[in-house]
Amino acid sequence: MATWNSRGLRGSTLEDLINRTILQYREKNLALIQKVPTPITPINIDKENRHITLAYFDKKSTVDYIGAVQGIPVCFDAKECAGDCFPIANVHEHQVKFMEDFERQGGISFFLIGFTSRDEYYYLRICDLKNFWDRSLNGGRKSFKITELDPDYFLKSKGGFFIPFLEGIQLDLEDRSQKKDSGKT
């Protein structure tokens, strides 16, 4: 059984920025997204500070966030990377399966990746992640480099939004529409 300890706060800076952006989107009636809680069972609790110091995960979580953007179902996961190379091992098979199933139901699935050393954020479509995933399963690189990513999907803070992922969704929808119009799947 997987356990949670000090590693449980990894990604908290990225998630804090995402949470602030989600709040702004909700206040402007642009999107309704919520954080999906990870079910845990506490083992040790610091009673003085009322903090869980050791716990195990009850089950595998799927994604960090789920909701709707202007009537479109969306789900995504947040991942942080300290360098310029993102390990595929940071993504789990059950997450990929859930996201693919979500897309088959008409939703949009993606990852928001924070490259912490660069203070840059990237909208990674599930189809692009799947290409890297399949490459790793077929004996290729077990990671992808920042230079392999489409520069159009890097998210720049603007308009007061910390991580404006709605811009990534808009670009994603436009790319899907172009592929559909050209007969590609």
Binding-site positions for Mg(2+) = 62, 64, 77, 95
Picking from 42, 84, 37, the residue whose alpha carbon sits closest to that of residue 62 is 37
- Binding-site residue set: 62, 64, 77, 95
Q: How far apart are CA 57 and CA 97, in angstroms?
A: 19
- The answer to whether residues 57 and 46 touch, using CB atoms and an 8 Å cutoff, is no
DSSP class of residue 91 equals S
Q: How far apart are CA 63 and CA 49, in angstroms?
A: 29
